[in-house]
Structures are given as structure tokens and as C-alpha cells.
């Protein structure tokens, strides 16, 4: 197993996903995990990767130096590379400007025969994203790659004590823009850590199911909240193979026109899933009507969701509560101050249940899997591909796509527009050409002309983005002819809208949702 120590880099999860997709078992652990804890883990790591970080070396987030002497090979990336250089006696400087983007690296004579870099092309493109640089390698280090005469990879091997086998890369092999990155990751796992690529999802799934069978052997029913999204749907279906599932769905009044129908269509196929729809529309509207501030909407939705769920099941007798937590939720909500510092919006779907629920046994069968792995598990379980590949839909629903004060009439306009937009995307085969696409009702009215008369109605924005993991996104380049036809339908068929605009902003600096 390879342990990836997370120092808050936006790419940490990508390192683990890449390695797993190449067949190597990988776990992400907090960067503050000390050497003793690492050594005592079962299974004991065969290799350690140190991630990048928004912090610089020496700012209080450095790894425990004792990891150097565990006798486990280490690969430091970016911040990890700089830390290795510094802790071993090299020199790291804070550059005046950040180096960000594609760069060429070239193998040194030593790089041609090194276990990590031997299989790389003599010159290759890599992705740099760093402020600090290593200007002098530590004594005893071997330079493996350089870029414009500056070091970009080194190795340190000593036979002292348990032996140190350390490698560092200034750039990010885990990102798509480093085309030969997988060669480096595979060389580390296979040739340096001596691992075989035998990790695969089918056997992991069998393992999880076998564990659930033991854990739930005497449990007649498990309770869970479902949202219609990929994670909770896969979780409920997975559990339904082992026991009965009481699946609770909170209708908060900010759903899309087709959410409930889709949910029923999926769960109806499983006799061991009992779907219960909680009609909480009045409760949510009672608190949220008229609210315009995005964070007040989000926090209100989060609190009301938990209260509604707790009230509904509060008096029933049940012992096991299942949650569709996935690996990225676990990592993001872990005690990682760096990652937390970079939370931009409050997402409401993690944690927050009342204290008295501590007596409940929590079942999280997907907590070790990444999103794309959850989709694959869903496919192995036979779930409809449309459900598995649906665009993400935020927990607070249409409430955060209705800018300005929440009013039932405005939500209805948005719901109608969303349904038309969604149908058009499917009919025009555009749904799968974009990572996420939706409409946003703007708190802006403008003048138009409908028939012979003047109109003064709301503007609607189409937001469509391409992304890999929602961390960054670009506006999708949907054909203008399709966009114009869709805009025309929206204006003609949805009363209250007389103008449609297209959002061209990337993330960052924008976010995908508008609130
Ligand atoms: P942003 O707007 O932060 O969105 O760029 C990134 C991705 O997260 C989704 N999103 C949410 N998902 N609960 C969720 O389950 C939320 O509160 C929430 N807010 C945003 C968003 O749709 C996009 O895919």
C-alpha cells in the first residue's frame, strides 16, 4: 500500500486516484501523521508520497522528519520535494514569482539509469505549480532531471540504519498536463516499492460486501437519507443486497421537476429498499421565504435538513444509520487545517446529526472510494447509467440557483426553465458533452419586446462547465446554434423570462454555482 500524506494540495486526491487506477492500493492520510503511526498501520505502507501544499516549508506544516528513517521509500512532490531538499541540508528559496504551467524537463546522465526516471523520454513536458524552488541540492543527492539548467528531480540513497531511499520531483506527475506522469508513478510503485498492480474495484467491492454481511448479519433494517445523487443511490443499492433499507428522501421544495420521478424509478426495482418521501416543503419555506443571502440560505437548508430528518425518524427504533460518505468527504472533513482553510462555501451534506444519535452504528460502505470508483461500483451493481453519470446537483437544490430573495413564484419559473434546459441537453446529445449544466435565475429584470408589446421580465443564465473534479472548471463550448435554439424555447415557453445569457467564467476565479 502507498500512503499519500496530504499537505493540503488541490491535487492530493488525484495522486491516489491515479495510483489506484494503475492497480496500486493507496490511502490518503493527514500530512501530520507521525512516523510511529505510519509504521504501525495495517497494512504497513510500502511507499510514502508527500503531496504538494499551499504552504511553504517551515511554516508549521512539515512532515515528521522521523519518516525518513522508517526504511520506507519516499517520493516528495512539489512541497514534498522542497521539504526533502531542505531537511537533508539543501537550499530552498522563495521565488519572487510563482512558476505555473507547462515546462520541459530533461534527463541528466544519472536520470537515464535511475529507477524512477529511467523509463521517461529524454525530454518531456511536466506541469509546474510552485512558488518556492530548490537552488542547491543536499549533499549526497543525485540530480535526475533539470529544467532550464535548474534542478527538478533528485534522489538520495543511503545505507545508514534502515536505509534511506528518497526521491523528489519539483512538478506534479499526477496531473493530466504531465503526460508521462503515470510512468513516474508506476516506476515508484512497481520498481521502487516493489508492489504488484493487483488492486481492483471488483475485488474491493466483494470485500466490502463480505464485511457488510458480517456486520449486518442480525440487523433487519438500515435507515439512510437519500438524495437521488450518485453516492446515496449506490450506497442504498449496495446495502439492499445485504439487508432491508429504509431510504428517506427529504422534499425541501427546491427540487427539480424530475428528481422524485427518477428516484422512484430507480428504487422501485429493488424490493428490499423502502423509499419514504418526507414532505417538508412548508417547513423549509416557513424559514427560507424572502431570504436572499447565499450563506443564510445554505446554512438554513443544512440545519432544516438535519432537523427534518431527525424529527421524522426520531421515535423509531433503529440501530444502524447509513451514509453515502465517499473518500473525498472523509479527506476534506479530516483534521487538515490547510485544506479547511480553503473551503469556500459551506456544503451541507457532511455530518451535523444530533448528539443523541451517537448511540447509532454508522455504516459508510463507500468511505474508501473516490467518486469515479463509486460510479464503477454502481455499474457493477447494475444501476442505470443515466443515474450514475448524472450531473452533480447541490444539496440546497434550486435555492442556490435562484439569486435574490426566495419566492415560490421565482422557484417555479426556475423549475420550468431547468426542465426545458435538461430535456434539450438530452435531446441534442449535449448532456454528456458537458460536466455540469444548469440554469440560474438572476435578480435582474430587463426590457424586451414580446409580440407587439414591451416586456419587463427576469434574465436567466445558462451555466455549462467542463471539469474533472469540480476543483477547476472551464465554460463548456456548446454550439452556439444549439444555445440560441434553447434560449428561444426558454423565452417563449417560460413566462417571466425575456432574456437568456451564457456564463463564460472559469473556476477559479468564479465558482460553478452562483451562490
Ligand atoms: P462550486 O460552486 O463550489 O461547486 O464551484 C463545486 C461543485 O459542488 C457542487 N455543490 C454542492 N454539492 N452540496 C452538494 O452536494 C452543496 O451544498 C454544494 N454546493 C455546490 C456544485 O454543484 C459543483 O458540482
Instruction: Read off the pLDDT of residues 454-503 as tens digits, 9 standing for 90 and up.
Output: 999 999 999 999 998 787 899 999 999 999 999 999 999 999 999 999 99
CA 513 to centroid of ligand 1, rounded, Å: 7
Q: What span, in angstroms and rounded, lies between the C-alpha atoms of 342 and 425?
A: 33
CA 400 to centroid of ligand 1, rounded, Å: 10
Start-end of H helices in 187-280: 201-215, 230-240, 259-267
List phi, psi (to 5°) of 342.
Answer: -100, 10
CA 345 to centroid of ligand 1, rounded, Å: 8
The per-residue pLDDT of the chain, averaged, comes to 92
Q: Which of 10, 233, 252, 392 to mutate to test the pocket of ligand 1 (most atoms within 8 A of CB)?
A: 392
- Measured at the alpha carbon of residue 52, what is the angle toward residues 185 and 392, in degrees to the nearest 5? 85
Looking at ligand 1, which atom is closest to the CA of residue 467? Answer: 24
Residue nearest to atom 7 of ligand 1 (CA): 470
Please state whether 204 falls in left (phi above 0), alpha (psi between -120 and 50) or beta.
alpha
Residue nearest to atom 12 of ligand 1 (CA): 394
Cell numbers for 268: 422501485
The string of pLDDT tens digits covering residues 334-373 is 545 554 433 333 443 445 667 777 788 889 999 989 888 9
Looking at ligand 1, which atom is closest to the CA of residue 227? Answer: 15
Looking at ligand 1, which atom is closest to the CA of residue 391? Answer: 24
| pLDDT score for 329 | 78
Question: Is 172 considered catalytic here?
Answer: yes
Q: What span, in angstroms and rounded, lies between the C-alpha atoms of 156 and 200?
A: 32
Domains of the chain as residue ranges with CATH: 2-192 (3.40.50.880), 201-388 (3.40.50.620), 401-502 (3.30.300.10)
| pLDDT score for 334 | 54
| Cβ within 8 Å of residue 111, ≥6 positions away | 117, 118, 120, 143, 144, 145, 153
CA 296 to centroid of ligand 1, rounded, Å: 16
From residue 166, give the alpha-carbon distance in Å to each of 47, 106, 437: 10, 20, 44
C-alpha dihedral (338, 38, 85, 116), degrees to nearest 10: -110
Which one of 61, 130, 174, 402 is the catalytic residue?
174
Using CB distances shorter than 6 Å, the residues near ligand 1 are 344-345, 347-349, 392, 394-396, 436, 470, 507, 511-513
Residue nearest to atom 10 of ligand 1 (CA): 394
From residue 427, give the alpha-carbon distance in Å to each of 420, 483, 500: 10, 13, 20
pLDDT at 165 over 90: yes
Looking at ligand 1, which atom is closest to the CA of residue 301? Answer: 17
Radius of gyration of the chain (CA): 26
Cell numbers for 461: 443564465
Q: Which of 324, 345, 394 to mutate to test the pocket of ligand 1 (most atoms within 8 A of CB)?
A: 394
List phi, psi (to 5°) of 424.
Answer: -65, -40
CA 372 to centroid of ligand 1, rounded, Å: 16
List phi, psi (to 5°) of 427.
Answer: -65, -35
Residue nearest to atom 6 of ligand 1 (CA): 470
- Compute the half-sphere exposure of residue 495: CA atoms within 13 Å on the CB side of its CA: 2
In the three-class reduction of DSSP (H, G, I as helix; E, B as strand; rest coil), residue 39 is classed as: helix
Looking at ligand 1, which atom is closest to the CA of residue 438? Answer: 22
Q: What span, in angstroms and rounded, lies between the C-alpha atoms of 149 and 167?
A: 19
Q: What span, in angstroms and rounded, lies between the C-alpha atoms of 219 and 208?
A: 16
The string of pLDDT tens digits covering residues 363-387 is 999 998 988 899 999 999 999 999 9
| Cβ within 8 Å of residue 165, ≥6 positions away | 73, 74, 157, 192
Residue nearest to atom 4 of ligand 1 (CA): 512
From residue 234, give the alpha-carbon distance in Å to each of 380, 421, 499: 10, 26, 39
Question: Is 78 considered catalytic here?
Answer: yes
- Measured at the alpha carbon of residue 439, what is the angle toward residues 438 and 443, in degrees to the nearest 5? 150
The string of pLDDT tens digits covering residues 249-302 is 999 999 999 999 999 999 999 999 999 999 999 999 999 999 999 999 999 999
Q: What span, in angstroms and rounded, lies between the C-alpha atoms of 145 and 153?
A: 5
From residue 206, give the alpha-carbon distance in Å to each of 103, 110, 213, 381: 43, 44, 11, 11
Amino acid at each position: 500500500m502507498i500512503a499519500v500524506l496530504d499537505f493540503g494540495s488541490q491535487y492530493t486526491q488525484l495522486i491516489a486516484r491515479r495510483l489506484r487506477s494503475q492497480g496500486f492500493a493507496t490511502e490518503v492520510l493527514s500530512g501530520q501523521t507521525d512516523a510511529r503511526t505510519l509504521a504501525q498501520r495495517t497494512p504497513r505502507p510500502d511507499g510514502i508520497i508527500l503531496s504538494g501544499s499551499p504552504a511553504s516549508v517551515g511554516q508549521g506544516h512539515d512532515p515528521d522528519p522521523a519518516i525518513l528513517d522508517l526504511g520506507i521509500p519516499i517520493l516528495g512532490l512539489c512541497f514534498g520535494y522542497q521539504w526533502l531538499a531542505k531537511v537533508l541540508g539543501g537550499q530552498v528559496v522563495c521565488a519572487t514569482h510563482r512558476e505555473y504551467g507547462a515546462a520541459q524537463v530533461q534527463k541528466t546522465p544519472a536520470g537515464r539509469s535511475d529507477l524512477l526516471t529511467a523509463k521517461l523520454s529524454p525530454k518531456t513536458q511536466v506541469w509546474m505549480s510552485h512558488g518556492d524552488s530548490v537552488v542547491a541540492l543536499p549533499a549526497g543527492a543525485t540530480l535526475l532531471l533539470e529544467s532550464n539548467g535548474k534542478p527538478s528531480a533528485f534522489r538520495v540513497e543511503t545505507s545508514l540504519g534502515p536505509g534511506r531511499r528518497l526521491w523528489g520531483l519539483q512538478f506534479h506527475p499526477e496531473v493530466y498536463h504531465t503526460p508521462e506522469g503515470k510512468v513516474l508513478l508506476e516506476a515508484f510503485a512497481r520498481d521502487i516499492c516493489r508492489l504488484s498492480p493487483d488492486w481492483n474495484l471488483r475485488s474491493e467491492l466483494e470485500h466490502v460486501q463480505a464485511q457488510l454481511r458480517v456486520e449486518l448479519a442480525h440487523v433487519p433494517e438500515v435507515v439512510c437519507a437519500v438524495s437521488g445523487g450518485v453516492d446515496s443511490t449506490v450506497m442504498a443499492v449496495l446495502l439492499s443486497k445485504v439487508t432491508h433499507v429504509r431510504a428517506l428522501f427529504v422534499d425541501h421544495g427546491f427540487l427539480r421537476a424530475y428528481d422524485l420521478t427518477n428516484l422512484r424509478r430507480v428504487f422501485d426495482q429493488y424490493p428490499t429498499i423502502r423509499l419514504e418521501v418526507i414532505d417538508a416543503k412548508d417547513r423549509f419555506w416557513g424559514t427560507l421565504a424572502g431570504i436572499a443571502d447565499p450563506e443564510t440560505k445554505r446554512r438554513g437548508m443544512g440545519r432544516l435538513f438535519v432537523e427534518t430528518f431527525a424529527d421524522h425518524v426520531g421515535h423509531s427504533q433503529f440501530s444502524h444509520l447509513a451514509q453515502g460518505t465517499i473518500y473525498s468527504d472523509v479527506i476534506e472533513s479530516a483534521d487538515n487545517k490547510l485544506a479547511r482553510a480553503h473551503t469556500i462555501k459551506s456544503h451541507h451534506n457532511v455530518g451535523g446529526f444530533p448528539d443523541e444519535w451517537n448511540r447509532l452504528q454508522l455504516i459508510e460502505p463507500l468511505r474508501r472510494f473516490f467518486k469515479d470508483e463509486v460510479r464503477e461500483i454502481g455499474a457493477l451493481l447494475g444501476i442505470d447509467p443515466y443515474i450514475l453519470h448524472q450531473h452533480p446537483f447541490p444539496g440546497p437544490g434550486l435555492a442556490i440557483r435562484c439569486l435574490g430573495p426566495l419566492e415560490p413564484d421565482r422557484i417555479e419559473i426556475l423549475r420550468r426553465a431547468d426542465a426545458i434546459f435538461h430535456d434539450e441537453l438530452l435531446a441534442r446529445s449535449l448532456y454528456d458533452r458537458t460536466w455540469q449544466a444548469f440554469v440560474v435565475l438572476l435578480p435582474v429584470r430587463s426590457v424586451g419586446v414580446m409580440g407587439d408589446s414591451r416586456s419587463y421580465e427576469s434574465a436567466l443564465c445558462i451555466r455549462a462547465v467542463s471539469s474533472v473534479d469540480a476543483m477547476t472548471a472551464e465554460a463548456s463550448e456548446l454550439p452556439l446554434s444549439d444555445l440560441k435554439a434553447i434560449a428561444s424555447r426558454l423565452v417563449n415557453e417560460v413566462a417571466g423570462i425575456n432574456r437568456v445569457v451564457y456564463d463564460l467564467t472559469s473556476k477559479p476565479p468564479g465558482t460553478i454555482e452562483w451562490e
